[in-house]
Amino acid sequence: MDDAPDVLDKLAMHKAREGVGSWLPTTVTAPLNTIHAALKRIAQRCQRGGPGAQVLGSYLEGPYFTPQNKGAQPPELFRELEIAELDQLIAVSQHTLRVVALAPEKEGALQAIRHLKQQNVRVMLGHSAATWQQTRAAFDAGADGLVHCYNGMTGLHHREPGMVGAGLTDKRAWLELIADGHHVHPAAMSLCCCCAKERIVLITDAMQAAGMPDGRYTLCGEEVQMHGGVVRTASGGLAGSTLSVDAAVRNMVELTGVTPAEAIHMASLHPARMLGVDGVLGSLKPGKRASVVALDSGLHVQQIWIQGQLASF
């Protein structure tokens, strides 16, 4: 979570180059004061605007997780769920906090989900060892879906369907998917399409190495290594991605056989619906914001207009 004054402008321009008109800068598990500072910066960028992709708000990925499926998140900084602390996060963000990710088996999780939903904050479930039953209970409480489906959660087994099974079979659940071919096997991506094609939300899970050459980088304060575009921790685990949204769309078409229109919906209309902003974003209709991307026949970005203005790179 870089605190350089122009970092969000630079990231917004990078996002625009990959065909993104709107996005949610996402925090990681860190000391609470560091998270507060990041939420304040994102809120300020929301209010003043700036070049590149429009910032719609913030996405809090951590610190409300459990250690078993932590990924690259530092477990020593995980926190318990308290309503007062959640309210403080919302206040610090000046009500621009759009999504909170949490582990549904944590004490107080169901109460926290209900409270966040009352505050118009979406709740996604992940970095968790929850059972199928615990995950379904969280959906019943109002949780909206799964953080990067398959990654950082209990997998699908024929006697214990786990979080993945709950997400695939519950029609209320949005399923984030990192479609880079490394985080999720193409067959598992196809299974997601078979069960939930209209509920997939393509994400990048990109970290600071995205768009950069192979080498050493940091994530959550720890050194990670990128080789061949794949980022791993010292122990060999995956540590975020270097995926771009346009590449995710191409991968879905190539690896799962969905149509270009279906893959594009997964990166546009579906996330807009998940966030409740499909009245103004996510498709081309009179009265919606004029954010439009032009792709060539290979689904590579040629130009992008953001709120009616042609972006120059």
How does pLDDT run across 120-134, given as a tens digit for each residue?
999 999 999 999 999
With cut-offs at 50, 70 and 90, classify the pLDDT of residue 67.
Answer: very high
Check if the beta carbon of residue 14 is closer than 8 Å to that of residue 241: no
With cut-offs at 50, 70 and 90, classify the pLDDT of residue 226.
Answer: confident
CA distance 151 to 299: 26
| Pairing mode of beta strands 292-295, 301-306 | antiparallel
With cut-offs at 50, 70 and 90, classify the pLDDT of residue 3.
Answer: confident
Which residues lie below 8 Å from residue 123, measured CB to CB, with a gap of 6+? 99, 100, 101, 102, 112, 113, 116, 117, 138, 142, 143, 144
The pLDDT of residue 210 is above 70? no
| Annotated catalytic residue 3 | no
| Average pLDDT of the residues in 14-22 | 95
CA 27: distance to chain centroid? 10
Total-model pTM = 0.92
The pLDDT of residue 113 is above 80? yes
If one compares 99 and 214, the residue with the highest pLDDT of the two is 99
The pLDDT of residue 237 is above 80? no
Per-residue pLDDT, 81: 99
205, 214, 246, 278: which one is catalytic? 205
How does pLDDT run across 39-61, given as a tens digit for each residue?
999 999 999 999 999 999 999 99
Mean pLDDT over all residues of the chain? 94
CATH number of the 7-169+267-310 domain: 3.20.20.140
Locate the domains of the chain by residue range.
7-169+267-310
